Amino acid sequence: MAINRRDFLKIAGITTLAGIGGAVGVNLITNKGIEAAQYLEDPKSLKGKRWGIAIDISKFNTPESYQKVIDACHTIHNVPLINNPKEEIKWIWTESYEHTFSSHEYANPYIKEALKKKPFLVLCNHCDNPPCVRVCPTKATFKRKSDGIVMMDMHRCIGCRFCMAGCPYGARSFNWRDPRPYIKKQNPEFPTRMKGVVEKCTLCYERIAIGLKPACVEASNGAMVFGDLNDPNSDIRKVLASNYSIRRKPELGTTPCVFYIIGG
Amino acid sequence: MLETAFKGSRIYWAWIIFLLAIIGIGFIFYLKQFIVGLGVTGMSRDVSWGFYISQFTFLVGIAASGVMVVLPYYLHNYKAFGKITILGEFLAIPAVIMCMLFIFVDLGQPLRVLNVILHPTPNSVMFYDMIVLGGYLFLNILVGWTALGAERKGIAPPKWLKFFVILSIIWAPSIHTVTAFLYSGLPGKYFWMSALLAAQFLSSAFASGPALLILLALIVRKFTKFDPGTEAIQALGKIVTYFMLTSVFFLGLKFFTSFYSGIPSYGHSIVYLYAGLDGYKKLVPIMWISNILTIIALILLVIPQLRKNELLLAIASLCVFVALWIDKGFGLIVGGFVPNSFKQITEYWPTIPEVSISLGVWAIGFLILTILYKVAISIREELGDVDVHH
């Protein structure tokens, strides 16, 4: 059978297309997705089905009490300090009541002055139903099935920033340039990031894996309570059961797992 | 057939060299962005998509609008579109390629782009966007090239082509619908989160795309011996008129729901775009230019006597194109991010590198368009511009 150049090119083109299509199909069927940091478990690791954090606002009274918590997170996670609000990276930081609960903004202008002026710690809410995970085209951000942490795979992220548009809490930061020169002192225990990827709080999965509570919780002197929301006897469930708490933008159905105890 | 693109007049080559120069400048700036990161753009933590994604969105519409000539010609046997159909199909090809390039230049880690295929994620709308855009590109190349090849040989196009023509007609609205779904399903982004968004996208696409096609047809007629036909151009004028009216109507619907409901979150972005919010009003002037151009265009289009004047139709088409480009290729994406999730305002304006890279991508699109049109027109000229059976 004679095959001319034109036909050869046609066949080669179709085969290539079929190959790419086929690879997608096979991947869809077979990709079970092993979760990182899950195959070698430390016996000391904290066990929980649905981690959450409750922040008791009444226990934060000085600027230092907030800064201690923020620094604890940002130093161990190599979060760069970029003094340009357009490019800054933040995993946990403070916002005013009005901005934190922006959907409550119009509800009640007459709340306690103290509450209005108080800074609120904000971080990734590790939602039950996270829009960022839904929109990510590469599963670079994913919800860990074992304990509900919304994780980041910085090596897979293509930097499309769909997750930043999807997150209704503004919890995600993008590395607009190489972050490494902006890290004061690198912690060799935790990876630094490169330019062009998105990052955020990962609920200290690396500490939970060796039996430690998240760094912010540890630094908060009891002002933040960490625990398993699925366990009715956990510390977090106890404080939530005995105090009035609110969450950010509950009307969006994301079911945040960060709670704010604002006092009766 | 491609060999015809290598023979051309002085003007043709000057235009090609001009485009190559713009592409070269864009490429140099892209190298800078590749090395430094997306920090060379005007985007920020709060406005995390800007000019690139806006151009992508606008151009998906241009690509989809090819159906406005393909459908009447193939499904309704509208003979007047016989000559212009190939221009519509060949406009869709560079438009889709530009879409893909704008996504690519927007990526923070462009070398990892194949992760979208290596780790296919059907819950992400981006996954479907990849499929529909790739498919639409393939369909338009297949249909346009095969039909033109048959025409050159003076034979009827192969029978199997009809299937792909019909598939491309169904496919066209899907690319813009899926693109709208990128935005309209995001919780908390009230400016985008509207069931109307896909319909708005399609209506503005079916106005801006044919408007561009009118301008291209007039340019082709001026510079070559090929005449796409006065009747075809006038018919496109009617299409632009109806869809421009639909677009304005849809915008009105959005205004009503946003403001009559009185829910502040639904109105914030609109107020920011058209009047400024809390003293921030960087986009207000261009949005009003868009409004004024829309009004001029509608006056010229709606009155039949004016529309029938080809010069006025060309002015109207230019107004439609620029107005909708500002609206969709700028305001729509940026506006969705203002105010941010904390109801704070960060403003956005593209930087010189960002605009240069964008111009480079547009120039690549126009280069492909020029080559495709050159091939199509050369073949028509070869055939002596006889009555064609496309």
Question: Does A152 touch chain B if contact means CB atoms closer than 8 Å?
Answer: no
- Tell me if residue A215 falls in helix, strand or coil: helix
Q: Which contacts qualify for A149-152: CB closer than 8 Å, 24 or more apart?
A: A149/A51, A149/A202, A149/A203, A149/A205, A149/A208, A150/A124, A150/A126, A150/A200, A150/A202, A150/A203, A151/A35, A151/A36, A151/A202, A151/A205, A152/A198, A152/A199, A152/A200, A152/A202
Question: Does A214 touch chain B if contact means CB atoms closer than 8 Å?
Answer: no
Question: Does A119 touch chain B if contact means CB atoms closer than 8 Å?
Answer: no
Q: Which residues pair with A260 in a beta bridge?
A: A55, A246
Which residues in A lie closer than 8 A to residue B37 (C-beta atoms)?
Answer: 175-178, 195-196
pLDDT beyond 60 at B387: no
CB contact under 8 A, B187 and A162: no
Which residues in A lie closer than 8 A to residue B106 (C-beta atoms)?
Answer: 160-161
C-beta separation of B240 from B210 below 8 A: yes
CB contact under 8 A, A158 and B107: yes
CATH superfamily of B2-197+206-382: Formate dehydrogenase/DMSO reductase domain (1.20.1630.10)
Q: How far is A192 from chain B (nearest CA, A)?
A: 16
Write the DSSP assignment of B93-160 as a string of letters. Answer: HHHHHHHHHHHHHH-SSGGGTTHHHHS--TTSHHHHHHHHHHHHHHHHHHHHHHHHHHHHHTSPPPTT
Which residues in B lie closer than 8 A to residue A100 (C-beta atoms)?
Answer: 342
Range of the domain at A91: 39-261
Tokens standing for A175?
A: 């590395």
Cis link prior to B228 (omega < 30° from 0)? no
Q: What is the mean pLDDT of chain B?
A: 94
CB contact under 8 A, B121 and A138: yes
Q: How far is B115 from chain A (nearest CA, A)?
A: 6
C-beta separation of B205 from B174 below 8 A: no
Question: Does A95 touch chain B if contact means CB atoms closer than 8 Å?
Answer: yes
Spatial CB neighbours of B254, under 8 Å, sequence gap ≥ 6: B194, B196, B200, B270
Cα–Cα distance for residue pair B210/B342, rounded to 1 Å: 40
Mean pLDDT for the stretch of residues A3-17: 70
Q: Which residues pair with A224 in a beta bridge?
A: A55
Cα–Cα distance for residue pair A193/A180, rounded to 1 Å: 7
Mean pLDDT for the stretch of residues A73-101: 95
For residue A248, give the CATH number of its domain. Answer: 3.30.70.20
Per DSSP, helices labelled H in chain B are 10-36, 51-64, 67-75, 85-106, 115-118, 125-153, 161-184, 197-223, 230-260, 264-274, 284-302, 304-308, 310-326, 332-336, 352-382
Residue A34 lies inside a defined structural domain of this protein: no
Q: Which residues pair with B280 in a beta bridge?
A: B277
Query: pLDDT tens digit string along A135-172?
Result: 999 999 999 999 999 999 999 999 999 999 999 999 99
pLDDT beyond 90 at A91: yes
Cα–Cα distance for residue pair B47/A164, rounded to 1 Å: 9
Q: How far is B194 from chain A (nearest CA, A)?
A: 15
Query: pLDDT tens digit string along B145-171?
Result: 898 888 888 888 899 999 999 999 999
- CA-derived radius of gyration, chain B: 21
CB contact under 8 A, B121 and A137: yes
pLDDT beyond 60 at B389: no
Mean pLDDT for the stretch of residues B375-382: 86
CA distances to B131, B133, B275, B316 from B174, in Å: 10, 9, 33, 28
Cα–Cα distance for residue pair B226/A21, rounded to 1 Å: 40
Tokens standing for B43?
A: 């985007």
Count of domains for chain A: 1
Residue type, B107: L
C-beta separation of A84 from A91 below 8 A: no
CB contact under 8 A, A176 and B38: yes
CA distances to A186, B26, B138 from A17, in Å: 45, 30, 10
Per DSSP, helices labelled H in chain A are 5-30, 63-76, 97-100, 113-117, 131-135, 162-166, 205-208, 215-219, 235-242
Cα–Cα distance for residue pair B17/B9, rounded to 1 Å: 13
Per DSSP, helices labelled H in B261-277 are 264-274
Q: Which of B219, B211, B175, B179 is nearest to B322 (CA)?
A: B211
Scan residues 34-73 of A and list those with Cβ closer than 8 Å to B.
Answer: none
CB contact under 8 A, B108 and A85: no
Q: What is the mean pLDDT of chain A?
A: 89
Residue type, B346: T
Which residues in A lie closer than 8 A to residue B266 (C-beta atoms)?
Answer: none
Cα–Cα distance for residue pair B225/B218, rounded to 1 Å: 12
Write the DSSP assignment of A126-151 as a string of letters. Answer: --SS-HHHHH-SSSSEEE-TTT--EE
Mean pLDDT for the stretch of residues B179-187: 96
Backbone angles phi, psi at B6, to 5 degrees: -95, 0
C-beta separation of B244 from B65 below 8 A: no
Under the banding of pLDDT at 50, 70 and 90, the label for residue A258 is: very high
Query: pLDDT tens digit string along B15-67?
Result: 999 999 999 999 999 999 999 999 999 999 999 999 999 999 999 999 999 99
Q: Which of A33, A34, A139 is nearest to B122 (CA)?
A: A139
Least CB-CB distance to A138: which of B119, B264, B337?
Answer: B119
Query: pLDDT tens digit string along B327-359?
Result: 999 999 999 999 999 999 999 999 999 999 999
User: What pLDDT is stored for residue B225 in this prediction?
Assistant: 86
User: What pLDDT is stored for residue A37 in this prediction?
Assistant: 52
CB contact under 8 A, B125 and A135: yes
User: What pLDDT is stored for residue A116 in this prediction?
Assistant: 83
pTM recorded for the entire structure: 0.91
User: What pLDDT is stored for residue B288 in this prediction?
Assistant: 97
Share of chain B above pLDDT 90, in %: 85
C-beta separation of B121 from A141 below 8 A: no
Q: Which of B207, B236, B199 is nearest to B322 (CA)?
A: B207
Strand-pair category, A173-174 with A150-152: unpaired
Query: pLDDT tens digit string along B59-75?
Result: 999 999 999 999 999 89
CB contact under 8 A, B126 and A135: yes
pLDDT beyond 60 at A63: yes
User: What pLDDT is stored for residue A82 in this prediction?
Assistant: 95
Q: Which of B9, B30, B56 is nearest to B176 (CA)?
A: B56
Which residues in A lie closer than 8 A to residue B269 (C-beta atoms)?
Answer: none
Cα–Cα distance for residue pair B202/B324, rounded to 1 Å: 12
Tokens standing for B372?
A: 């495709």
Residue A235 lies inside a defined structural domain of this protein: yes
Backbone angles phi, psi at B316, to 5 degrees: -60, -40
Which residues in A lie closer than 8 A to residue B39 (C-beta atoms)?
Answer: 87, 176-177, 195
User: What pLDDT is stored for residue B381 in this prediction?
Assistant: 81
Cα–Cα distance for residue pair A118/B187, rounded to 1 Å: 27
Least CB-CB distance to A159: which of B46, B109, B336?
Answer: B109
Strand-pair category, A141-143 with A198-199: unpaired
Least CB-CB distance to B342: which of A17, A102, A159?
Answer: A102
DSSP 8-state symbol, A34: P
Least CB-CB distance to A165: which of B107, B116, B186?
Answer: B186
Q: How far is B193 from chain A (nearest CA, A)?
A: 11
Token look-up 């090119």 returns A9
Orientation angle between helical segments B197-223 and B51-64, nearest 10 degrees: 70
Cα A146 → chain centroid = 16
Query: pLDDT tens digit string along A183-241?
Result: 999 999 999 999 999 999 999 999 999 999 999 999 999 999 999 999 999 999 999 99
Query: pLDDT tens digit string along B216-252?
Result: 999 999 988 889 999 999 999 999 999 999 999 999 9
Under the banding of pLDDT at 50, 70 and 90, the label for residue B390 is: very low
Cα–Cα distance for residue pair A4/A126, rounded to 1 Å: 58
C-beta separation of B47 from B280 below 8 A: no
pLDDT beyond 90 at A103: no
- Please report, for chain B, the start and end positions of each structural domain, with discontinuous segments joined by +: 2-197+206-382
Write the DSSP assignment of B338-370 as a string of letters. Answer: SS-TTS--------HHHHHHHHHHHHHHHHHHH
Query: pLDDT tens digit string along B197-220?
Result: 999 999 999 999 999 999 999 999
In A, minimum Cα distance to B110 occurs at A158
Give the least confident one: A5-14, A231-240, B190-199. Answer: A5-14
Q: Which of B45, B25, B29, B17 is nearest to B344 (CA)?
A: B45
CB contact under 8 A, B346 and A86: yes
Residue type, A116: K
